[in-house]
C-alpha cells in the first residue's frame, strides 16, 4: 500500500479517536475493587462447581449453548453494567431489554439460566446473583469449547430495573461503522483492542439472516476481492438468506470451526468474508488502521488473542451498575 494512503488512514483514525474523546461523556463504573475472587468462599464455596456442571451438560447437548451464554453476558454488561438486567421479563409496569432491537427473536439461553439458578438456590439460597451466574457461565462456556480460562471476580448485584432505551442505544449493531462501534466500546471503558478481542468471540457465534442480508447483497464481493472460493461461500449464504425472506434463518459467523473457540474468525476478516458488516469494518474500513493490525496479530498469534480476550472479558465483567441492587431469587423477576 502506498505510503500516502497509510498516512491518510492513520491520520483519519487519529482524528476519529480525538473527536470521540472530546464528544463522549465520562462513564464511571462502580469501583471494581468491590468484586473479589473470594466473595463466595464462605457463603457458597461450590458456586463455580454448580455452574460448571450445568454448563458441561448444556454444551454437551448442544455446543451452541456456549455462544448463547457468552452473548447474554455481553448484552447484559453493555446496558447499565453487568447487573442481570437483560434477564428480567416484561411486567405490567416495565418493558424489559429482551424486547430491544438487538435482543428480540435472537437472544436465547434464558431457560439454561433458570436451570443454573435453581441449582444455585438449592445449594445456597439467596446468595449468588444472576449477574455473577452469567459471568461465571460465560467463562465456562468459552473453556468448554476450547477457549481460554480466566478467573472471574464476583460480588455483582442484580438490578431492580431494566432499560429498553439503553439496550436499543448502547448495544452495538451489525450495520454500524467502525467509528460508531469504537465509540460504543469507549463509553463502557473498553478500547479498540478490547473491541477486536471481544468480537473474536464470534468464532462460536451465529447470526440471523436479518443481520447479515445487507452485507451479503452489498459489499461482500468487493471486500473478498471476487475470490472464487469466496464466491462459493457467498452463494451458500444467499441460499440461507434470500433477499426478501428468511429473516430468522441463521448462519455460523465462523465458516471454518464454528463449534471451537479459536482464532479462525480473524482469517475470515482478512479474506474479506466477515459475515457482519460491523466485524468486517475492523479490517476493511479506511479508519481501521490500528484495528486491522490487531486483527492480523490475533490471526497470526492465537496465544496473544487468548490472553487479550481473557483480560478484556475481566475488564468488561468489571463494569458494574453504580445503582446497586439485590440478589434475585428468580432471575426473571425482582424480589418482592
Residue 262 assigned ligand-binding role: yes
Q: 309: Cβ–Cβ under 8 A, 6 or more apart, which residues?
A: 142, 147, 148, 197, 198, 200, 201
Determine whether the annotation assigns residue 90 to a binding site: no
**Residue 134 cell numbers, joined:** 452469567
User: Which 8-state DSSP code applies to residue 99?
Assistant: G
Q: Is 203 annotated as a binding residue?
A: yes
Is 59 annotated as ligand-binding?
no
Q: Confirm whether residue 114 is marked as ligand binding.
A: no
Q: What is the DSSP string of 218-237?
A: TTHHHHTTT-HHHHHHHHHH
Give one DSSP letter per residue of 272-332, joined into a string: T--SSHHHHHHHHSTT-HHHHHHHHHHHH-HHHHHHHHHHHHHHHHT---TT--B--SBTT
CA distance 310 to 273: 25
Instruction: Confirm whether residue 202 is marked as ligand binding.
Output: yes
281 in a known ligand binding site: no
Q: Is residue 230 marked as binding?
A: no
Q: Is 199 annotated as a binding residue?
A: no
Helix 47-61 × helix 64-77 angle, to 10°: 130
CA atoms within 13 A on the CB side of 28: 2
Q: What does the longest C-alpha to C-alpha distance in the chain come to?
A: 65
Active-site hit among 75, 184, 188, 213: 75
CA distance between the termini of the chain: 62
Instruction: Tell me: is residue 132 an annotated ligand-binding position.
Output: no
242 carries a ligand binding annotation: no
Is residue 272 part of an annotated ligand binding site? Answer: no
Alpha-carbon distance of 263 to 306, in angstroms, equals 8
Quick check: is 75 catalytic? yes
The strand ranges marked E within 88-227 are: 206-208
CB 65 within 8 A of CB 142: no
The binding site for substrate comprises: 172
Q: What residues are annotated to the active site?
A: 75
The binding site for Ca(2+) comprises: 76, 79, 81, 83, 85, 97, 203, 254, 257, 262
The binding site comprises: 76, 79, 81, 83, 85, 97, 172, 202-203, 254, 257, 262
The binding site for heme b comprises: 202
Amino acid at each position: 500500500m502506498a505510503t500516502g494512503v497509510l498516512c491518510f488512514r492513520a491520520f483519519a483514525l487519529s482524528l476519529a479517536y480525538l473527536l470521540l474523546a472530546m464528544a463522549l461523556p465520562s462513564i464511571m463504573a462502580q469501583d471494581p475493587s468491590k468484586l473479589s475472587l473470594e466473595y463466595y468462599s464462605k457463603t457458597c464455596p461450590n458456586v463455580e462447581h454448580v455452574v460448571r456442571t450445568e454448563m458441561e451438560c448444556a454444551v454437551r447437548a448442544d455446543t451452541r449453548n456456549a455462544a448463547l451464554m457468552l452473548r447474554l453476558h455481553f448484552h447484559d454488561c453493555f446496558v447499565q453494567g453487568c447487573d442481570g438486567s437483560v434477564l428480567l421479563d416484561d411486567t405490567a409496569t416495565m418493558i424489559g431489554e429482551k424486547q430491544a432491537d438487538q435482543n428480540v427473536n435472537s437472544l436465547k439461553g434464558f431457560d439454561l439460566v433458570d436451570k443454573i439458578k435453581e441449582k444455585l438456590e438449592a445449594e445456597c439460597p439467596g446468595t449468588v446473583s444472576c449477574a455473577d451466574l452469567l459471568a461465571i457461565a460465560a467463562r465456562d462456556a468459552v473453556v468448554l469449547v476450547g477457549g481460554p480460562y480466566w478467573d472471574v471476580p464476583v460480588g455483582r448485584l442484580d438490578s431492580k430495573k431494566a432499560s429498553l432505551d439503553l439496550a436499543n442505544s448502547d448495544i452495538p449493531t451489525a450495520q454500524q461503522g467502525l467509528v460508531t462501534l469504537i465509540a460504543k466500546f469507549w463509553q463502557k471503558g473498553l478500547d479498540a483492542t478490547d473491541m477486536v478481542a471481544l468480537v473474536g468471540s464470534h468464532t462460536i457465534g451465529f447470526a440471523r439472516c436479518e443481520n447479515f442480508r445487507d452485507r451479503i447483497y452489498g459489499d461482500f464481493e468487493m471486500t473478498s476481492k471476487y475470490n472464487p472460493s469466496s464466491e462459493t461461500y457467498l452463494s451458500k449464504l444467499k441460499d440461507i438468506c434470500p433477499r426478501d425472506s428468511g429473516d430468522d434463518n441463521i448462519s455460523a459467523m465462523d465458516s471454518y470451526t464454528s463449534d471451537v473457540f479459536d482464532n479462525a474468525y480473524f482469517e475470515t476478516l482478512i479474506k474479506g468474508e466477515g459475515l457482519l458488516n460491523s466485524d468486517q469494518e475492523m479490517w476493511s474500513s479506511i479508519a481501521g488502521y490500528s484495528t486491522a493490525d490487531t486483527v492480523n496479530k490475533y490471526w497470526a498469534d492465537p496465544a496473544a488473542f487468548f490472553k487479550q480476550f481473557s483480560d478484556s472479558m475481566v475488564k468488561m465483567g468489571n463494569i458494574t451498575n453504580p445503582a446497586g441492587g439485590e440478589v434475585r431469587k428468580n432471575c426473571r423477576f425482582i424480589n418482592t
